[in-house]
Amino acid sequence: MVLLFSLLIGQGCATYYQTNYSFNEAFERGNLEAALQSLQDSPSRDYRKTEFLYLVNNGLLLSVLGRYEESNEYLEKAFIFGEDFRINYLNEAASYLTNPTITNYRGEDHEHLMVLYYKAMNFLKMGKNSEALVECRRLNIRLQQLSDRYQSDKKFQRDAFIHLLMGIIYEADNDFNNAFIAYRNAYEIYQSDYQELFNESAPPQLKTDILRTALLSGLQAEFEQFKTEFDMQDYRYEPTEGGDLVFLWHNGLSPVKAEWSINFVVNRNGNTVTFINEEFGFSFPFNIGDYDEEDKSGLAALEVFRVAFPKYVERPVYFASASIEADQTTIDLQQVEDVNKIAQQVLSQRMTLEFSKALLRAALKKATEYQMRKENKALGSLFGIINALTEKADTRNWQTLPHSIYYSRVPLKLGTNEVTLKLKPAADKPVEPHTFTYVIDKKGMIFHTFTSLETRYPSYNLY
C-alpha cells in the first residue's frame, strides 16, 4: 500500500519537464551528445503517449548537432504523426477518471509548423532547395488548415514567420514572384495579426526583401507602391558578388508547461450544475439532464473541489540582442518570431475547452467517489485520496524550441568571408563573439542557424 501511494504521489506531482529531468538538464547545459543519449534511452512506456515529442526532440537535437539527414528522418515521422493522428476515444474516456496525461499527446498548432520549419532549414543547409520547396508547400497547407480552424480575428490563425520562410525558400530557388507574394503576405500579417496579438511589427529586413523581389519579378508598380509605404524612396538594389548569407539566430528556450489549480464552488439549479470561482470570475454551467440519477445525486452533493489546469511559464532570455559584423559593416539581427508569445496565445485560445474538460473530469471523479462512500465509506475515502493524487494537468509540450527567432541577411563576396556574431547579454555583461568563415566559389544563398540555449536562470532547478 505504501508503495502504491508513493507511485501515485510521484505520478501526481511530477510535470513532464520533471519526468525528463536528465535530458533537460543535459540539453540546457549544452551537453548535446549526453542529451541525445538520454533521450534515446528513455523507457518505451514514455514513448507510447509522447511519440510526437520523442520524434521532434530527436529531430531538433540532431539538427543542432549538424546531422541534418538523421534529423529529417525524425521530423518526417513527426509530420506523418500529425497527418495521421486519430483520437483514441477509449483513452479519452479514461482520462476523465484519471487525468489527460494518459492520452496520446497530439502537439500544439505552432509545434506542427515548427516541425516543417526545421525540416526545410535542414534541406536548405544541405543545398537541397527542391526538397525545401516540398516543405514549403506542406507549410502552405498547414497554414490554410490553421486559418480554417480559427475564424476569429483575435486568434493565432496566420504565422507571419512561416510566410517569411516560404519567401526565403522560393527566393533560394530563384522564384522571385512567389517569393515576393510570400514576403508581402508575411508583412501584412505582421502589421495586422502580430501587431494586435503580440505587439510585434514587421522587421526592417522584410521590407528590403519585398522591394528586392518586387524589382526582380518585374513588378514595377508594386515596387514603387512599397517604396512609398515603407518611406524608402532612396532604396537601390545592388546585387552582391557572392550572394547572401541568410542567418537565423535561435535565442533561448521556449516556455515550459506547468500546472496551476483553483478551487470551485458548485451550485445546482434543476438540471444545471454551475462551477464558480469568484476570485477569477469563472462560471461554467453544465446541463446534467441526460445523466442517470446516481450521477445527478453525486454532482448535486459536490460543494468545493480543486481542479488542475496547464499554464506556460516563460524562460526569460539571457541574450537581449545580437548583431553580425562582416566586411567592416554591422548588421542587427531582427526578431521575426516570438515562440514564447505564440505558445501562450495558442494555449489561451483553447482555455475554455481546457476548463470545461478539467471540470467535467473532476466532477465525474467526485460523483463516483460520492457513490462509493454511500456503499463503502472506507473504499470511498480511498478513492477520494486516489482522485486527489491523480488530479493533474497535461504539462506536455515541445520544450526544446527556441524562445524567439531572429533573422538577417549578410552580403557575401567571392572567396573567403569572415563573419562575427556578437551576442549581447540582457545583464551588464561582456558581449560574446562567435566567428564563422565561409568560402564562396559562386553566387547564391547559403544558410546558417545559431542556437543559444542560455536562459536568465537555469530552469532545471525550478520546474
Q: In the chain, what are the domains?
A: 2-257+312-350+394-461 (1.25.40.10)
Please give the C-alpha separations between residue 268 and each of 54, 286, 287, 338, in angstroms, as whole numbers. 44, 9, 10, 43
Q: Are 390 and 8 in contact (CB under 8 A)?
A: yes
Backbone angles phi, psi at 343, to 5 degrees: -60, -45
| Residue 98 pLDDT grade (very low, low, confident, very high; cuts 50, 70, 90) | low
pLDDT digits (tens, 9 = 90+) for 196-237: 999 999 999 999 999 999 999 999 999 999 999 999 999 999
Grid cell, residue 381, equals: 475515502
Q: Are 75 and 119 in contact (CB under 8 A)?
A: yes
| Residue 5 pLDDT grade (very low, low, confident, very high; cuts 50, 70, 90) | very low
- Can you give the pLDDT at residue 12? 53
**Position 387 pLDDT exceeds 90:** no
Q: Which residue has the cell 543559444?
A: 452
Q: Which has the higher per-residue pLDDT, 379 or 314? A: 314
Q: Are 244 and 213 in contact (CB under 8 A)?
A: no
User: Which of the residue ranges 4-8, 32-36, 385-389 has the most confident prediction, judged by mean pLDDT?
Assistant: 32-36
**Position 97 pLDDT exceeds 60:** no
Annotate 312-325 with DSSP letters as a single string.
EE---BSEEEEEEE
pLDDT digits (tens, 9 = 90+) for 238-283: 899 999 999 999 999 999 999 887 777 777 777 777 878 777 777 8
Grid cell, residue 240, equals: 552582391
Mean pLDDT calculated for residue range 274-298: 71
pTM over 0.75: yes
| Residue 8 pLDDT grade (very low, low, confident, very high; cuts 50, 70, 90) | very low
**Position 410 pLDDT exceeds 60:** yes
pLDDT digits (tens, 9 = 90+) for 146-173: 777 766 666 788 899 999 999 999 999 9
Q: In this prediction, what percent of the chain has a pLDDT beyond 70?
A: 79
**Position 89 pLDDT exceeds 70:** no
**Position 90 pLDDT exceeds 80:** no
- Can you give the pLDDT at residue 296? 57
